[in-house]
Structure 1
Amino acid sequence: MFFLAIIFIAVFIGAFIQGATGLGLGLVITAILPFFLTVKETTLLVLSLLVISGLTVTFKHYKHLKWKEIIGFLIIVLIGRLIAFFILAQYGEMDFLKTWLGVALLLIVFYQMSLAKSLKKIGDSTQSKRRVLQVGLGLASGIIGGVFGLGGPFLVIYFLLIYPTHKFSYIVSVQAVTTVASIFSVSIHAVNGDFYPSFLTYFLVGIVAVLIGTNLGLRIFERVNVKLVKRFTFALICISAINIILFA
């Protein structure tokens, strides 16, 4: 029961932040659960729950979704997810991957903190450089998202560039790509036999937390102080990442 409570709390916090800011579910869960599960188990749970969270947000803001503008980027993300499948299937049970996870969490947080300056530079770049950036961010989201469940920050960077002033188009695009990519990853892992019986219990607890947390986050989406929430989230993740590197 204690472990199920930990799962509920971690998922609820992540889902709430995800609903309010478009980012957070994967970051929060992967900052907490690797103390109790392998990286592979954590990632599979994150990916499964991202489907639920993503569908919730996508259906709510579907009218703002423009598939023609995201399909090319989505294909690149899916190629990255296929590469990630082989990495996670081969090394997902090994402890050294937790160290890599901790490092990845720290790097993502530091990059997110410098995002505004990075976006300004990107906005001033040429069309050819933007194409290279699209491929780079798509593959990074696919691979890191498929191995660690941490592809969201790269989607945020890309769609903030595409929709700098269209708040709802930005958040629904992030969630739509996340949902499709997560369904793809979960499907190929299911075919590979990577899920186990007790996973269903974790998933059901997580669904309840996702639905409650995401909907609460969406309710304050227009009023939330995004900067304050992200600062708190990044501080939590940095602490957890350091602990993962040192002790997990």
Structure 2
Amino acid sequence: MTLYFTFLLPLLISFAIGQQYGHQLQPARNPSQSGTEKFPWVVAVLNKDDLITVYIGSGSLIKPNVVLTAVHILNDIPKSELLVRAGERDRSTPQDQQHVDLKVLTVVRHEQFNKYSAENNVALLILESEVEITRNIQTIALYANGAQIQAKSCFFNGWGKEKWDSEDYPTIIKKTEIDIIERNSCQRQLGRPISYLQFCAAGLLGKDCSGDGGAPVVCRTIANPSGLVQVGVVNWGSRKPGDNKPAIFTDVYSLRGWIDYQLRLPTNFAAK
């Protein structure tokens, strides 16, 4: 199974935040505390058949029974072969955390996803059951409106590659920091317009990050710097050494209408 990565979006450095405070950062109980508890909204999306389980990307827990991810990582995998793992830190061992594996009830792919431009690269995985919210498994609020974000406070997490020349995918969840770029500046650097469904960010020079497709991009807000809110989703792509052009990410705010509509449809939550 191919591993993918993503970048997305045109962002005004002023966003608005829906759930006003988002995820509240909690101080670690001790200095050696697991990194998973810093990113408890991040889940691993797995392709599981009779013989092997393969990591295909990341996602975010936006409700106890709903995961937001990217369409492209799912390909045509049937829902019966998809598995969501919450509370994961180290994919190489089951001993590091009390992670939970959840089966998928419904896969909702954005019907206007463009595989060439990565527009509308969002999907929802409706889970068969709600996950129990614990210290290392929590939801993340989606960006909506209300407060400005700190443009240089953003990052995403996943188990994708870290460096351009790396051949291995890390087993321990990593953090990749990015700086959001104003839309007009981004378009000048790229030499072309970008969709309003996307935003730009810098900070991936020399980083590959293949395998981070679907990973949530989160930022702090100016009004509540201890809180985090999801503003984007990672697409695919890479940054070769020397290539300092901005990366493009999916803009969650521009797709909130589609997301909220799908979450209101009873048929998405009914067994088929």
TM normalised by structure 2 equals 0.25
Relative contact order, higher structure (CA 8 A, sep 6+): 1
Task: Select the structure that is richer in strand.
Answer: 2
Task: Select the structure that is richer in helix.
Answer: 1
